[in-house]
């Protein structure tokens, strides 16, 4: 695969969605969880989405239960939690795995394209973030500890690319 737009994923509502629908838009792709110490980052992700969506940014949330069983709910519970607790309006997807043999192909691609510290491809925890350019090619990988509000300069740069 040459870019993120060549993948598809099931939405939180159970619809298979080709990421080609987002072609030409920078993407911030995040593995999320509802019971994690980083869960309050939902507020920052939503703030980024609201601030930059009009300029083309898409934030895509992918719930994952591979880290400390911090996403125990089903899609309905996750959707309700995100909406009621953080007012999430950015696209959310069905629960996936990001590591191992059953890892979603999108995350296999992202990890290979943008390895982490010391070249490690494994995702270490929830709220790992990948910024993808308008061309669908991953630009940067951010650690779970990187707060969404600290990504604005990189988001601005991705929005400026044509």
pLDDT under 50: residue ranges of the chain = 162
CATH number of residue 143's parent domain: 3.40.30.10
pLDDT of 108: 95
Q: What are phi and psi of 36, to 5 degrees?
A: -110, 155
Number of folded domains in the chain? 1
Percent of the chain with pLDDT over 70: 98
pLDDT in tens, 63-106: 999 998 999 889 999 999 999 999 999 999 999 999 999 999 99
What's the domain range around 102?
Answer: 4-160
pLDDT of 161: 58
For 136: left if phi > 0, alpha if psi spans -120 to 50, otherwise beta; the answer is left
36 assigned to active site: yes
pLDDT of 37: 85
Catalytic site residue from 36, 123, 155, 158:
36
């Amino acid at each position: 695969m040459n870019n993120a737009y060549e993948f598809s994923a099931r939405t939180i509502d159970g619809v298979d969605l080709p990421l080609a629908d987002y072609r030409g838009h920078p993407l911030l792709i995040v593995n999320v969880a509802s019971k994690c110490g980083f869960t309050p980052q939902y507020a920052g992700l939503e703030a980024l989405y609201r601030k930059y969506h009009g300029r083309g940014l898409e934030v895509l949330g992918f719930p994952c239960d591979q880290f400390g069983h911090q996403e125990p709910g089903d899609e309905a519970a996750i959707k309700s939690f995100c909406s009621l607790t953080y007012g999430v309006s950015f696209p959310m997807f069905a629960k996936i795995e990001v590591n191992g043999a059953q890892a979603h192909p999108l995350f296999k691609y992202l990890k290979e394209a943008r390895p982490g510290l010391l070249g490690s491809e494994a995702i270490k925890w929830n709220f790992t973030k990948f910024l993808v350019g308008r061309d669908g090619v991953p630009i940067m990988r951010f650690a779970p500890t990187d707060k969404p509000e600290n990504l604005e300069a990189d988001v601005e740069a991705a929005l400026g690319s044509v």
